[in-house]
Structure 1
Amino acid sequence: MLKYLSVTVLLTLATTSVSALTIKASTTTAATTLFTKMFNEYQKRSNATVDFEPGTSPAAQKAILARSVDFAAAIIPLDENEEVRDAEDVLHIPVALSAVVMTYNVPGLERPLNFNGRVLSDIYFGRIKTWNDERIARLNPGVTLPNLLVTPVYRSDPSGYSAIFTNYLTKVSREWEARVNDSVIVDWPVGAATDSEDKSAKAVQAIPGAIGYMGLSRALKDRLTFGNVQNAAGTFVRPTESSIEAAGNSKVTADGTANITYAKVARAYPISNYIYVLLRREQRYAGRTEAQAKATRDLVAWMIDDGQQYNASLYYGELSTDAANRAKKLLATLTFDGKPFR
């Protein structure tokens, strides 16, 4: 677990003289780069502090359910079957789009490899054992692939990345859906286990022939090689801010969520996801004041509006107009002591 990252950020309050406030958050590591930038920029307008602890999406969800933070951030929605009564009070506010990428360690290649769902499921079923397997070769004509063992790397801890990747696999492989399915904890058929994104990245770097899944921001930070993935339209797509945004063009639901893996959009990267801020609809809890509630609301409002300008430069997708409007409507339903507040 990473240490808290303290960043001073603006909270637009109605009064002219306001004592400093501290907003506490539990967030997914998928958003660390973006949140750090956003909060640093928002600092120029603020007198308050945000302490956010990057970790897994399941850990962030537990924190907001436990009422131990002002907001949380996750790349997957709350499980509808877990703590249903309490989860109904939690809003999902989309703030950005990101992607899970397939990183690999195959020396000597000059261009990114192409993957499709069948090949990726066969790799994680243990059926493709070497990188020069004909199933990989067919997707990469003209590429000389080595006779190198394939080592699938996976997460054994509760992970939003596991949930997104396996949700994609259920859509491209009926066998995966029937035998393994999708979850934050997966009974992986084969592979090398890690219990964090950091360890996954290090495993891919250390093991010749390794392949793993992780967030785009992490792969870029560690300068890992990652491939193109065939989408529902049959196109091999590079994960970029524009291809991630294309996946997010489908409408979000009334509760602010959307499943956008394997989206039927021509330019869409097929293992894309939203990043959600999780807020309790009733903001009076755990001794929080109305000023604290307004401060949190104002910060999130800025993230889905002016804050969107920082997404693309950090390889995150911006919200579509539909998603942004839905986020604003949800944010307007917050209450304090049962009453709407300005």
Structure 2
Amino acid sequence: ATGNLLQFPTVMGSLVAIVNIPGIAEDQLKLTGPLLADIYLGKITRWNDPQIVALNPGLTLPSLAIAPAYRADGSGTTFVWVSYLSAVSPEFKEKVGVGTSVRFPAGTGARGNEGVAGTVRNVRGAIGYVENAYAITNKLVTTQIRNNAGNFVKPDHKSFMAAASAADWSVPGFAANVIDQAGPDSWPIVAPTFILLPTNPTDAARSANVRRFFDWCFTNGSKLAEELEYIPLPESVHNAVRGAWRQSFGA
């Protein structure tokens, strides 16, 4: 708890890169964080750039201009994306930095996940970033990304759960740094959703009902979260949150 608020995580989401490259199917293309940073810095401008070709010897990549798409509106999605790019690229951190809304040196802005998805779907050579749940429901072409351990991983349940399990949730406010987690199978771009609860609530009964609701979610909601393409937190985190409730509220 910080001040008069208790922060705790409920579920995790993941971000994926989506592309529109003729002849390239889902999860065929391999990219790295520094490459993605250079694309969004405007330094890598064609899909047959030698650095991309070197990572993808089995693919035929066209001499097609790369058209980066980004969120024009302020968003947590952008915050997570640029947090990752800043973590893997000192130049990106210096020139663009971290925020819910940043100035990208290259590309086209679009509003919402649907705007970025629409741009990528309609523009040959486009690349964008969206929440994985959105990519799946809209059948968008995702990519592999090299993780902290140096392995190329696909955006799937296994890699997402590996990232959730690898995080250190013992920090104050459960504010684990989950970006670019260690571990051979971890997906590098994930983020938790947090709830803030007043520790001196004006309505104790309502506060207790809120905790009861999230306790139900922890007990019964993991399968629902997975069906919606979100990542349930490990049971150890659920129990740690319950412990924090007892410490702050006595029940």
TM-score w.r.t. the length of structure 1 is 0.68
Alignment of 1:316-327 (within 5 A): 316-327=230-241
Out of 293, 298, 307, the residue aligned to residue 212 of structure 2 is 298
Q: Residue in 2 aligned with 1:107?
A: 22
Q: CA deviation at 1:333?
A: 4.6
Instruction: Tell me by how many angstroms 1:267 deviates.
Output: 0.7
Does residue 202 in structure 1 map to residue 125 in structure 2? no
The alpha-carbon deviation at position 278 of structure 1 amounts to 2.9
Q: Secondary structure at the match of 1:181?
A: coil
1:138 Cα deviation after fit: 1.0
The RMSD of aligned alpha carbons is 1.8
Task: Give, as a single letter, the amino acid of the residue that structure 1 aligns with 2:195.
Answer: V
Q: Distance in 1 between matches of 2:19 and 2:5?
A: 37
Q: What is the letter of the counterpart of residue 151 of structure 1?
A: A
2-side partners of 1:217 and 1:319: how far apart?
16
Fraction of identical pairs, as percent: 30
Contact 1:238 1:269 in 2 (8 A): yes
* CA apart distance, 1:277: 2.6
- Give the distance between the partners of 1:215 and 1:207, measured in 2 at CA: 19
Correspondences of 1:272-287 after superposition (within 5 Å)? 272-284=190-202
Q: Choose which of 148, 155, 166 in structure 1 pairs with 2:64.
A: 148
* Counterpart for residue 243 of structure 1: 159
Structure 2: state its 5+ residue gaps. none
Q: Which has the larger radius of gyration?
A: 1
> Which deviations, in whole Å up to 9, do the C-alpha atoms of 1:165-219 show, x marking residues without a partner?
1111112111112222211111211110123222111111111111111100011
Count of residue correspondences? 247
The CA distance in 2 between the partners of 1:279 and 1:241, in whole Å, is 29
Deviation at 1:334?
Answer: 5.2
Deviating runs (4+, > 6 A) in structure 1?
A: none
Match of 1:116 among 6, 16, 32: 32
Deviations 1:200-246 (A, max 9, x none): 11111111111111100011111111101100111011111221111
Name whichever structure is richer in helix by fraction: 2
2:227 matches 1:313: yes
Residue 283 of structure 1 deviates from its aligned partner by: 2.6
Using the size of structure 2 for normalisation, the TM-score is 0.91
Partner of 2:7: 92
Q: Given that residues 89 and 280 in structure 1 are in contact (C-alpha distance below 8 angstroms), is that contact kept between their aligned partners in structure 2?
A: yes
Name the structure 2 match of 1:217. 133
Verify the 8 A CA contact 2:33 2:89 in the aligned structure 1.
yes
Q: Which runs of 5 or more structure 1 residues have no equivalent in the other structure? A: 1-86
Shift of 1:257: 1.7
The structure showing larger relative contact order (alpha-carbon pairs under 8 Å, at least 6 residues apart) is 2
